[in-house]
Structure 1
Amino acid sequence: MTVWIVLLRGINVGDKHIVPMKRLRELLEESGFSSVQTYIQSGNCVFGSDETDAGKVAQAVAGSIEGEFGFRPSVFALTLEHLEAALEANPFPADAGKALHLIFLDSTPADADLDELRAIAPDNEAAEIRGNILYVYTPDGFGRSVIAQKLDRFIKADKTARNLNTVHKLAEMARAVN
């Protein structure tokens, strides 16, 4: 069995794309996934599956949501090994908590312009790419961050962000399923 961590982009933000977590858990179980858990309302799921292909897992989850709620979110399916490697590759303080966001990209961006992004950022903000993960350090808060506000202009990829505390919690949940 493979343990999957699934991150949904853009659900339960404002009044758009509302997905109740209880119903999401039921949908995932109906899709054949086991030991389904969710964490907070922003679309974090952990479950087991015999499926070993991340693309197929993502498609199954997106299709279930589309069938039930009428929209198809971006879905990032990660193995526990992938999540742990992302934590290990972190170039910033390990105790950064909510000041550090891991931004999961659908691919390694070939045309990322980190130099220009850094040039417009305040001195206390920083960003680094490791593979298909962008690490963004914003000690004054992600919501106020210049890097976070300008990210789409400089990093052209489908993406979803989670703070370091959330990533640690998801890894903990996934280890319990394993």
Structure 2
Amino acid sequence: MSVYVVLLRAVNVGGTGKLPMSELKTLCEAAGLKNVQTYIASGNVVCESGATAATVKKKLEAALADYAGKPVGVLVRDPEEMARVLADNPFPKSAPNRTVAIFLDAAPPADAIAQAKHREGEEIALGRREIYVHYGDGMASSKLVLPAAKAGTARNLNTVAKLAQMAAARR
């Protein structure tokens, strides 16, 4: 069995009438995932499967689309990738709750930073399949738009660290 961290995009898992954590866990189990554990109400799952990451992604996207009535993005990483995302943080001295990794399916385009709009002091760096952003003044007031991140999902580095720890504990 392989261990995976699953990150959902654009789903409010904590809101009324959306996708409660208990239902997310049930959907994951129905899609064949084992030992499903959710983490905070923002679409994070640590699980195990005999399937490949691509198959896990495909099955969960189908199950979530049936549930939500619209496409729901799913990004999948293994424990080593999650640890590497944390280790590759280009802003290690910045507050982890003000620094995010935006997870993507593929490497970000080389011009992703140049395409950023409404940038006002945010620091941006490209990772392997992530875009890192440090919001010095916090995310709430930021107007930053990253076209390359449209199909991605962001997690602050506190969350990345916890998910990496949870996944590593399964080894």
Alignment TM-score, normalising by the size of structure 1 = 0.85
The reply to whether residue 58 of structure 1 matches residue 57 of structure 2 is: yes
State how far apart, in whole Å, the 1-side matches of 2:14 and 2:165 are. 28
The reply to whether residue 161 of structure 1 matches residue 150 of structure 2 is: no
The reply to whether residue 5 of structure 1 matches residue 2 of structure 2 is: no
Q: Is the Cα–Cα contact under 8 Å of residues 10 and 17 in structure 1 kept in the other structure?
A: no
CA RMSD of aligned residues (A): 2.3
Q: After superposition, where does 1:143-162 map in structure 2 within 5 Å? A: 143-147=140-144, 150-152=145-147, 155=148, 158-162=151-155
Q: Percent identity?
A: 36
How many Å apart are 1:76 and its aligned residue?
0.2
State how far apart, in whole Å, the 2-side matches of 1:88 and 1:133 are. 13
State how far apart, in whole Å, the 2-side matches of 1:15 and 1:177 are. 29
* Partner AA of 2:119 in structure 1: A
* Partner AA of 1:106 in structure 2: D
Residue deviations 1:117-161 (CA, integer Å, cap 9, x gap):
38x5334x20000122100000211122233xx212xx2652110
Alpha-carbon distance change, 16 to 106 in structure 1, aligned in 2, over 3 angstroms: farther
Q: After superposition, where does 1:36-55 map in structure 2 within 5 Å? A: 36-51=36-51, 53-55=52-54
How many Å apart are 1:6 and its aligned residue?
0.5
Aligned residues: 171
SS of 1:146's partner is: coil
SS of 1:117's partner is: coil
SS of 1:168's partner is: helix
Q: Which stretches of structure 1, 4 residues or more, deviate above 4 A after TM superposition? A: 13-17
In the alignment, structure 2 segments of 5+ residues that lack a partner are none
SS of 1:76's partner is: strand
Q: Is the Cα–Cα contact under 8 Å of residues 8 and 44 in structure 2 kept in the other structure?
A: yes
Q: After superposition, where does 1:80-95 map in structure 2 within 5 Å? A: 80-93=79-92
How many Å apart are 1:67 and its aligned residue?
2.6
The equivalent residue for 2:75 is 76
Please state which structure has a larger fraction of its residues in helix. 1
SS of 2:169's partner is: helix
In the alignment, structure 1 segments of 5+ residues that lack a partner are none
